[in-house]
């Protein structure tokens, strides 16, 4: 008769902890969108795929940058099945800085990526397409950009939209430029951003059975400066489902209760 009550109590303890437990990510991957040889980004742990027009000329012989490939688990350095393909984007520039400490972007990128260098507009749309993802889990995506030009703080914005998903939550830092958690489009002041450290952030991303989604950054010359985008780096991580964590916890408790009854 005590077992059901015990399970209820355990469930009550596990449910509020599920989200916290989910921070034990399956993997976390970073990509430096404009890497060159004098940056301190660790290319054994961070990928450096870039746009077609953003490949630096000062790379050592035999060293090539590409527009996509398998992502890499930052903690283990191992290549993942998850894959990114980059299309569009303009010429890269060796400008920009890491976000200031205490800003929304700092916990994601500081100490991990040297954010000097970015991909910018080139009269085309910039697209990050993620494939070979697990439809049974959820994902978090965070992007950071900085041109480091104070004149562009209020005039040049990076707009991003998440597409080809069945669920997501918009948790971007500039709440004035999206319509709430269900809005697939958001914007950030990436023209001058190192002091405010704004991010474009989507959490709870569910891909559906196809296992892919895209982040689309448009460029429209008719809109003038407001459409001149900059992107320095992004992070994507796979988050275990809270339900799976609860089931695992309950299974452990049941196993323990069964052993005690014996």
How many domains does the chain fold into? Answer: 2
The HSE-up count of residue 111 (CA atoms within 13 Å, CB side) is: 4
**Rounded to an integer, what distance in angstroms lies between the CA atom of residue 66 and that of residue 57?**
13
* pTM, 2 dp: 0.84
On whether both 4 and 109 belong to a single domain, the answer is no
Q: What pLDDT, on the 0 to 100 scale, is given for residue 205?
A: 98
pLDDT at site 158: 93
What pLDDT does 19 receive?
43
What is the extent of the structural domain holding 9? 1-24+243-262
**H or E element: which one contains 233?**
strand 233-239
Q: Identify whether residues 191 and 229 lie together within a single domain.
A: yes
Position 161 scores a pLDDT of 97
Residues 134 and 262 occupy one common structural domain = no
252 and 235 in a single domain? The answer is no
* pLDDT, mean of each 10-residue run, the chain (262 residues): 44 44 81 90 94 74 84 97 94 92 98 95 91 97 97 92 98 91 96 97 97 94 79 97 50 44 51
How far apart CA 185 and CA 161 sit, in angstroms, is 4
Instruction: Give the pLDDT confidence score for residue 25 in this predicted structure.
Output: 93
Tell me, yes or no, whether 207 and 247 share the same domain: no
Question: What's the confidence (pLDDT) of residue 133?
Answer: 98
* CB-count exposure of residue 61 (10 Å: 0-12, 13-18, 19+): exposed
Question: Do 145 and 162 sit in the same domain of this protein?
Answer: yes
Residues 131 and 183 in one domain: yes
My answer on whether 211 and 248 are in the same domain is: no
Same domain, 158 and 51: yes
Residue 16 sits in the same domain as residue 131: no
**9 and 93 housed in the same domain:** no
Same domain for 198 and 76: yes
């Amino acid at each position: 008769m005590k077992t059901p009550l015990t399970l209820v109590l355990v469930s009550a303890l596990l449910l509020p902890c599920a989200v916290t437990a989910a921070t034990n990510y399956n993997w976390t991957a970073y990509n430096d969108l404009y890497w060159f040889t004098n940056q301190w980004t660790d290319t054994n742990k961070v990928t450096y795929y870039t746009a077609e027009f953003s490949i630096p000329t000062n790379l050592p012989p035999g060293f090539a940058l590409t527009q996509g490939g398998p992502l890499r688990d930052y903690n283990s350095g191992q290549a993942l099945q998850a894959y990114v393909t980059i299309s569009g984007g303009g010429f890269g520039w060796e400008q920009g800085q890491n976000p200031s400490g205490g800003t929304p972007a700092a916990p994601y990128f500081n100490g991990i990526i040297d954010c000097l260098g970015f991909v910018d507009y080139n009269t085309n749309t910039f697209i990050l397409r993620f494939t070979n993802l697990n439809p049974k889990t959820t994902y978090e995506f965070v992007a950071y950009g900085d041109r480091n030009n104070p004149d562009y703080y209020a005039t040049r914005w990076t707009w991003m939209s998440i597409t080809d998903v069945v669920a997501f939550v918009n948790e971007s830092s500039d709440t004035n430029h999206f319509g709430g958690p269900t809005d697939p489009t958001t914007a950030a002041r990436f023209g001058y951003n190192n002091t405010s450290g704004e991010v474009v952030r989507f959490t709870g991303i569910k891909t559906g059975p196809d296992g892919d989604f895209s982040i689309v950054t448009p460029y429209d010359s008719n809109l003038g400066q407001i459409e001149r985008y900059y992107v320095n780096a992004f992070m994507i991580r796979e988050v275990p489902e809270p339900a799976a964590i609860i089931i695992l916890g309950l299974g452990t408790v049941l196993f323990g209760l069964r052993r005690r009854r014996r």
